[in-house]
Amino acid sequence: MGRLSVELCGIPLDNPVIPASGTFGYGYEFAELYDINILGSFSFKGTTREPRFGNPTPRIAECPAGMLNAVGLQNPGVDRVIDTELPRLARVFHKPVMANVSGFSLEEYADTCARLDPQPQIGWLEVNVSCPNVHGGGMSFGTDPAAAASVVRAVKAVTSKPVIIKLTPNVTDIVSVAKACEEAGADGVSLINTLLGLRMDLKARKPLLANITGGLSGPAVFPVALRMVWQVAHAVKIPVVGMGGVSSAEDVLEMLMAGAAAVEVGAANLIDPWACRRIIEDLPGAMDRYGIKNLKELRIES
């Protein structure tokens, strides 16, 4: 095990850097730019049972130190992912991959996860109860501890692989949701998903996004994400995957210090497709500057 190595739900990673769902496609597009096997893993595009076109355009809005998105879980559906996307991915990525799953009912979450569970390349199921850009699902499950726990129980009943629940920051108390997921049997939690935001089109005198609201990501959200990771990591015993505005090796070190077991990188991939490679390459130098021998020594106990 090298000085960058970590472990997530019992699965070893060469390093803690994981591109976040929705910012890395199904991997093979980035494999045309660099060898993506340098990554710890990555979380592929949010997948639902049926194909989804997503929200109407415009879906993206820029803002200072970040961006708003309201893509709306556009994806080809789980059967196409299994039949087409995973075989293409297997040719370029030779490590366990994280499957990100969204749904609009308990039955849909369970069915989609049950179909993905037997796939040999999938190491973890990251179950998204936090998408702010769809109606009738997603974040509606993640804002209530009891509802989030019900998703955990439904998925754990039909899967054998580690289940990581992706949490929304758009709540008063994220710790209560995380603890409810832990008590229901979740193997880990990941946080934060995007913060709900809005931009106006002054010329048209209406909201800029067709969906009206969108999810804020980018460097602006990093301090909020770091605070929530700290709170959750010191309240639960299961692993926490930290994310939200991460764009540098130093950001990764801060997330690990706050208690994260691994770190996802999101919007940075949309700005710089080589962002994750750069962060991984920069990690040893950043560790040397701060006298860090290995990543396992970083977490601060409260």
Q: What is the C-alpha to C-alpha distance for residues 47 and 301, in angstroms, rounded to an integer?
A: 36
Q: How far apart are the first and last CA of the chain?
A: 27
Q: What is the C-alpha to C-alpha distance for residues 29 and 22, in angstroms, rounded to an integer?
A: 13
pLDDT digits (tens, 9 = 90+) for 205-238: 999 999 999 999 999 999 999 999 999 999 999 9
- Is position 123 within any domain? yes
pLDDT of amino acid 135: 45
pLDDT of amino acid 133: 44
Buried b / exposed e along 200-218 (16+ C-beta atoms within 10 A):
eeeeeeebbbebeebbbbb
Lowest mean pLDDT among 51-60, 134-143, 291-300: 134-143
pLDDT at 178 over 70: yes
Query: In the structure, what pLDDT confidence band is assigned to residue 54 with cuts at 50, 70 and 90?
Result: confident
- Residue 44's Cβ-side half-sphere holds a number of Cα atoms within 13 Å equal to 30
In the residue annotation, 131 being an active-site residue is answered as yes
pLDDT of amino acid 134: 45
Number of structural domains in the chain: 1
pLDDT of amino acid 143: 83
- Is position 300 within any domain? no
Residues in the chain: 302
pLDDT of amino acid 141: 74
Lowest mean pLDDT among 11-15, 53-57, 99-103, 229-233: 53-57
pLDDT at 64 over 80: yes
- Is position 48 within any domain? yes
Q: Chain-wide mean pLDDT for the chain?
A: 94
State how far the alpha carbon of 99 is from the alpha carbons of 62, 96, 163, 210, in Å.
Answer: 28, 10, 10, 28
What is the average per-residue pLDDT within 47-64? 92
Please choose, from the candidates 127, 120, 128, 125, the residue with its C-alpha nearest in 3D space to the C-alpha of residue 93: 120
What is the CATH classification number for the domain harbouring 212? 3.20.20.70
pLDDT of amino acid 142: 77
- Is position 297 within any domain? no
pLDDT at 248 over 50: yes
Lowest mean pLDDT among 41-55, 139-153, 163-177, 193-207: 139-153
Q: What is the C-alpha to C-alpha distance for residues 22 and 24, in angstroms, rounded to an integer?
A: 6
Query: In the structure, what pLDDT confidence band is assigned to residue 73 with cuts at 50, 70 and 90?
Result: confident
- Is position 138 within any domain? yes
Q: Which helix (H) or strand (E) holds 106?
A: helix 106-116
Share of the chain above pLDDT 90, in %: 88
Three-state DSSP state, 67: strand
pLDDT at 300 over 90: no
- Is position 189 within any domain? yes
The reported pTM is 0.95
Q: The domain containing residue 173 runs over which residues?
A: 6-292
The answer to whether the beta carbons of residues 31 and 85 sit under 8 Å apart is: no
The answer to whether the beta carbons of residues 226 and 240 sit under 8 Å apart is: no
Beta strand 206-207 pairing with 66-69: unpaired
- Is position 299 within any domain? no
pLDDT of amino acid 154: 95
- Is position 1 within any domain? no
pLDDT at 189 over 70: yes
Lowest mean pLDDT among 12-21, 95-104, 132-141, 258-267: 132-141
Which residue is catalytic, options 9, 131, 181, 276? 131
